[in-house]
C-alpha cells in the first residue's frame, strides 16, 4: 500500500522533489517497464494539480504508442513529427502554453489547453515521452520542465 501525497501549498520544486522520491520508491527494484510507467503516471496525476491527463507514449518501430496514463482514453498511435507528442519524440521537450496555436496539435481531450511533453532517452535514443495536459492556459513553466526532465532521467533505465 502506497500513500504519497504532496504537502498542501508546496512550491513546484518541493512538489517535484516529493514526486521524484515517490517514483524512485515505487520503481526501485522493479524491472517491468509497464508496471513502472503505470505507477509513475498515477503519481503524476496525484501530485500535479490542474492536469487532466498524465501519462506515457512509447516509441515502438518509429511510432508513438499509447502507454500507461491517468485520464480519459486517448489517441492510440501518433506518428513521429505529428502533434506535440510527435515533436517531442524527435528528442526535444515541448512546452506549449496554448495547444490551439500549436500546428498539428492532436486534441485527444477537448479540455486540454496547455501541454508539456518530455522525451525519455536511453543510450542516446528516445524510448518514450511523458505527456502532461492541463485545462488551463500556460499551466506549465520552466520549473515543470526541469521537474519532468529529472523524472525522465530517473525513469530512463526503468521503463
- Residue 115 beta carbon to ligand SME: minimum distance, rounded to whole angstroms: 6
What's the burial of 96, exposed, middle or buried (CB within 10 Å: 0-12/13-18/19+)? buried
- Residue 99 beta carbon to ligand SME: minimum distance, rounded to whole angstroms: 6
125 φψ region: left (φ > 0), alpha (ψ -120 to 50), beta (else)? beta
C-alpha torsion sign, points 137, 141, 147, 148: positive
CA–CA gap between residue 27 and residue 98 (Å, rounded): 33
Nearer to ligand SME, 83 or 147 (CB): 83
Torsion of Cα atoms, 127 then 35 then 79 then 99, to 10°: -100
Q: Is 108 in the site for ligand SME (CB under 6 A)?
A: yes
Nearer to ligand SME, 131 or 149 (CB): 131
Q: Is 133 in the site for ligand SME (CB under 6 A)?
A: yes
Residues 40-79 that bind ligand SME (CB under 6 A): 53, 74-75, 78
Q: Is 83 in the site for ligand SME (CB under 6 A)?
A: yes
Which of 18, 106, 146, 150 contacts ligand SME by CB under 6 A? 106
Contact 148, 120 (CB under 8 A): no
Binding site for ligand SME (CB under 6 A): 53, 74-75, 78, 83-86, 105-106, 108, 112, 115, 131, 133
Amino acid at each position: 500500500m502506497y500513500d504519497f501525497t504532496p504537502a498542501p501549498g508546496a512550491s513546484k520544486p518541493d512538489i517535484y522533489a516529493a514526486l521524484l522520491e515517490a517514483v524512485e520508491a515505487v520503481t526501485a527494484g522493479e524491472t517491468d517497464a509497464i508496471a513502472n510507467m503505470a505507477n509513475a503516471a498515477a503519481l503524476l496525476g496525484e501530485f500535479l494539480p490542474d492536469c487532466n491527463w498524465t501519462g506515457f507514449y512509447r516509441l515502438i518501430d518509429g511510432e508513438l504508442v499509447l502507454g500507461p496514463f491517468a485520464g480519459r482514453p486517448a489517441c492510440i498511435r501518433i506518428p513521429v513529427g505529428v502533434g506535440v507528442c510527435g515533436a517531442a519524440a524527435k528528442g526535444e521537450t515541448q512546452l506549449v502554453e496554448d495547444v490551439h496555436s500549436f500546428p498539428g496539435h492532436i486534441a485527444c481531450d477537448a479540455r486540454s489547453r496547455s501541454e508539456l511533453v518530455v522525451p525519455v532517452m536511453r543510450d542516446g535514443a528516445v524510448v518514450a515521452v511523458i505527456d502532461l495536459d492541463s485545462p488551463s492556459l500556460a499551466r506549465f513553466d520552466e520549473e515543470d520542465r526541469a521537474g519532468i526532465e529529472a523524472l525522465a532521467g530517473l525513469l530512463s533505465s526503468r521503463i
